[in-house]
Structure 1
Amino acid sequence: MTNKVKKVGLYLGKFSILHSGHQFVIDTALKEMDKLIILIYDAPSSTSIPLDIRSKWIEEIYASSPIEVVKGWCGPEDTGYSDEVKRIQNEYILKMAGDRGITHFYSSEPYGEHVSEALQCINRIVDIERKTFSIAASIIQKNPYLYKEYIHPLVYPDLITNVVFVGAPSTGKTTIAQKLSLEYSTVWMPEYGREYWEEHQIERRLEPWQLTEIAEIHLTREQDKRMEANQYLFTDTNAITTYMFAMDYHGFAEARLVELAEAAQRRYDLVFLCADDILYDDTWDRSGDVNRHIFQQKIKSDLLKRNIPFITLQGSIDERIRTVKKVLHRFKKWTSFADGLLDI
């Protein structure tokens, strides 16, 4: 009786946006191999999406599969088929493959020939003519929002710029989010707390557990909206504001609401604080302009305490929207927003 030789595949790429074509190769390899190694190139000149994020996509989607993700930090970025480029690429791949015993090299590209030769393994070409998924990766990368049917639900939310508007009641958050969603042909996330409050409030108050429930359901709905969004999601309020209401009403917040507020510190790409210099809309469900000013100062103080960068919106609704559009024009997701300070 002889021992079965373990079949180990290697597949590599930048996976700037992991799409159905990539997954078809991965799924094919998993059907044929005992184990699949996926080498992901850092490629900072090709994509701003961090290597750790692109690695996370594959690790989470294939969490129950025999896959090992190898992060290719500082890998060669030159492409082509000159002898020098092939030599540099082959040397790097051999170094990263190490002693993993690669038996098959998977690709949908002509470079499979020279890489498999360097690895001394089988060249396994998959759908090189793109018959299964005819759309080119370059087209998806130019406008992933138009071709999101090719993008996994765990990947797509990371492509959306989530913009949140916070502030005291009657500072224009809802109007701004609505108008911007129309202007950018996308969706917006309404404040769930308002809907919940109108249905469940007693003497204009909610219980601590109800405020936690608001934050939970708001988050679920917000995650769903990210799948519908076109580049931007404009969000009206978040769990931090709900936490502030809990502190204002009761002097404490339930542990779960505290957790949700802390998680919200990292969820948004841009945070806009809507100032209270706008005309107060004194409806029956609000507590007056004086309380608005006090609550506004508490929100601002909490943002500063949490070390959350924010941009203050002042003036009329139109002036506020112009400010947001100016910021969005300069903002690029997955880059350091603070670098823009150097241009001031």
Structure 2
Amino acid sequence: MFTNALVIGKFYPPHAGHKHLIEAAAAGAENAYVLVQGSRFESLTAQQRADWLAEEFAERNVTVIPVRNDCPVDYSSDEIWTAQQENMRLALKVHGVKSIDAVYSSEPYGDRLAAGFGAVHVAVDPQRLTHNVSGTLCREDLAAAWQQVLPAARRGLAVRVIVVGAESTGTTTLSEELTQHYRQQFPALADVPEHGRYYTYEKLEALQVSNPAATVDDLVWTDTDFGVIAARQTALEEAAAEAAPLVIADTDALATTLWERYYLGDGSYGSFAALAQLPRRDVYLLTDHNGVDFEDDGWREGEHRRPEMTEWFKETLTEEGHSWILVTGSRERRLATATAVIDAILTQQATFASPEWAGRTILKEVA
């Protein structure tokens, strides 16, 4: 058993092979230190990657340290090698780590790196047989490698499109059409329905046990109800982000706070706690009430409040600094507007910038 083990890497993005490597270090040493080296030339910050790894290993003897490293990579240069190793040494030093006993790696440079720290090199699956994945593979085809990316990173990387709007403005229609459209590209794309509607069904069924004649008008809403709805809505969204690189959600916890205001007034805040866990958003699609006939399905309040609710959404999304687009016009026009922006975001998300000296890991084919 070593005292201090070191794992270094870009973790760009962190994947199952990285997890295997870090687990090996954690099992072989009292303390495992993971240096996450990120540069200005890359699309993800070192802090983002470190946060994802820290979440994965929160219950382990693992300390994750993000460090900026804009130094070129040139394994044939002694000067560059010295600059790289000093970057690592100082990152450890300022975190109170004075010595390293073992360096765990899957890379050919592991022996030299360990020697520089006066440590033992422990090679872990250098042929990538346990997990046939690399950062290069993930960056070149993120969708194909999605399930190999660590769950926290998947949740952080997924493109999140949230469809919101007043009653009977086409939010569910647009959500379903977008899901159907993009499921051709992402077969694992999950449904993220409006949980509040299903919660209403359940609440009415529970009431009808004691009062069979009860209708939706007999329901009594509390701030606790909206807190439960908001938390569950976020949980559905997070599960969808782990399943596929794209999330299409029919409402979210932020919208739930507006519906709470709608039903209970300005003094009710049961759903607001969920905002602390609100994931990163890429874009909100706000369905316009104009040009959409009101359909009373027996569960809705009425047409007269749609303009007011639409304005609430516009105000709140703007105040909170979110990107939002008012989708209006025919169903075809709304879908075209939505897919245009989503396609652009997906292209951006799947593009990982790298400096000119970045290497590529070529995996051997597994028989």
Return the TM-score normalized by structure 1: 0.85
Percent identity for Structure 1 against Structure 2: 23
Partner deviation per Cα, 1:114-136 (whole Å, 9 max, x = no partner): 22222222222222122222333
Within 5 Å, give how 1:59-70 maps onto structure 2. 59-70=54-65
**Contact conserved, 2:4 with 2:29, CA < 8 A, in 1?**
yes
Deviation by residue 1:5-44 (Cα, 9 ceiling, x = unmatched): 9621111001012112111211111222121111111223
- The count of aligned residue pairs is 328
Does structure 1 retain, via aligned residues, the 8 Å contact 2:15–2:150?
A: yes
Residues 302/20 of structure 1: CA separation in 2 closer, same or farther (3 Å cut) = closer
1:275 to 276, 281, 288: 288
Confirm or deny: 8 A CA contact 1:162 1:232 kept in the other structure.
yes
Q: How far did 1:173 drift?
A: 1.2
The one-letter amino acid paired with 2:320 is R
Residues 20 and 133 in structure 1, CA contact (< 8 A), matched pair in contact too: yes
What SS does the corresponding residue of 1:169 show, helix, strand or coil? coil
CA distance in 1, matches of 2:276, 2:22: 36
Cα distance change of structure 1 residues 130 and 6 upon mapping to structure 2, 3 Å threshold: closer
* Unaligned ranges ≥5, structure 1: 336-344
State the Cα distance separating 1:300 from its structure 2 match: 2.0
**Greater relative contact order structure (CA < 8 Å, 6+ sep):** 2
Q: Quick one: which of 329, 342, 354 aligns to 1:315?
A: 329
Kept in 2, the 8 Å contact 1:226–1:233? The answer is yes
Quote the Cα distance in structure 2 between the aligned partners of 1:148 and 1:199.
Answer: 34
Task: Give the drift of 1:62.
Answer: 1.6
The within-5 A match list for 1:246-325 is 246-252=260-266, 254-261=268-275, 263-264=277-278, 267-283=280-296, 284-325=298-339
Measure the CA separation in 2 of the matches of 1:169 and 1:190: 15
Q: Out of 4, 8, 17, which is 1:12 matched to?
A: 8
1:215 aligned onto 2:230: yes
What residue number does 1:235 align with? 249
| Kept after mapping to 2: 8 A contact 1:269/1:333 | no
The one-character-per-residue Cα deviations of 1:302-344 (angstroms, maximum 9, x if unpaired) are 3233333322111112212211222123323499xxxxxxxxx
2:239 corresponds to 1:224: yes
Contact 2:227/2:273, CA 8 A, preserved across alignment: no
Correspondence 1:161-176 to 2 at 5 A: 161-176=159-174
Matched residue SS, 2:152: coil
Aligned-residue offset at 1:301: 2.4
Tell me, in whole angstroms, the C-alpha distance in 2 between the residues paired with 1:147 and 1:40. Answer: 21
Tell me the distance in 2 between the aligned counterparts of 1:260 and 1:134: 38
Offset, 1:56: 1.4
Does 2:35 align with 1:35?
no
Equivalence for 1:91: 86
Partner of residue 340, structure 1: none
2:107 to 109, 121, 127: 109
Q: Deviations over 1:180-238 (max 9, x none)?
A: 11221223311111222244353175412323332232222222222222x21100111
Offset of residue 51 of structure 1:
1.8
Distance 1:298 1:152 in 2: 37
Structure 2 contact 283–322 (Cα < 8 Å) conserved: no
Give the counterpart letter for 1:140 in structure 2.
C
> Structure 2: how far apart are the matches of 1:299 and 1:137?
39
- For the residues of structure 2 that align with 1:97 and 1:305, how far apart are their CA atoms? 41
- The corresponding residue for 1:160 is 158
Name the counterpart of 1:51: 46
Classify the secondary structure of the residue corresponding to 1:188. coil
Gaps of 5+ in 2: 184-188, 205-215, 352-367
Match of residue 25, structure 1, among 21, 46, 50: 21
* Alignment partners' CA distance in 2, 1:325 and 1:285: 30
The Cα offsets for residues 278-316 of structure 1, whole Å up to 9 and x where unpaired, read as 322322333333221222222222323333332211111
**Structure 1 letter corresponding to 2:133:** I
Contact (CA 8 Å) 1:112, 1:123: kept in 2 or not? yes
Q: Report how far residue 65 of structure 1 moved.
A: 2.2
Distance across 2 between alignment mates of 1:236 and 1:319: 19
Q: Could you say if the C-alpha distance between residues 286 and 204 of structure 1 is closer, same or farther in structure 2, counting changes exceeding 3 Å?
A: farther
Aligned residue for 1:127? 125
Report the residue type matching 1:163 in the other structure.
V
Distance 1:247 1:297, change over 3 A: same
Say if 1:160 and 1:232, in contact at 8 Å, map to a contact too. Answer: yes
> Secondary structure of the residue that 1:318 maps to in structure 2?
helix
Verify the 8 A CA contact 2:33 2:63 in the aligned structure 1. yes
Question: Which residue does the alignment assign to 1:327?
Answer: 341
| AA at the equivalent of 2:336 | R
**CA distance in structure 2 between the partners assigned to 1:170 and 1:305 by the alignment:** 24
Deviation at 1:267, TM superposition (A): 3.7
Alignment partner of 2:151: what SS? Answer: coil
- Separation in structure 2 between the aligned mates of residue 36 and residue 68 of structure 1, nearest angstrom: 6
Deviation, 1:259, is 1.7
- Specify the SS of the correspondent of 1:184: helix
Superposition TM-score, scaled by structure 2 size: 0.81
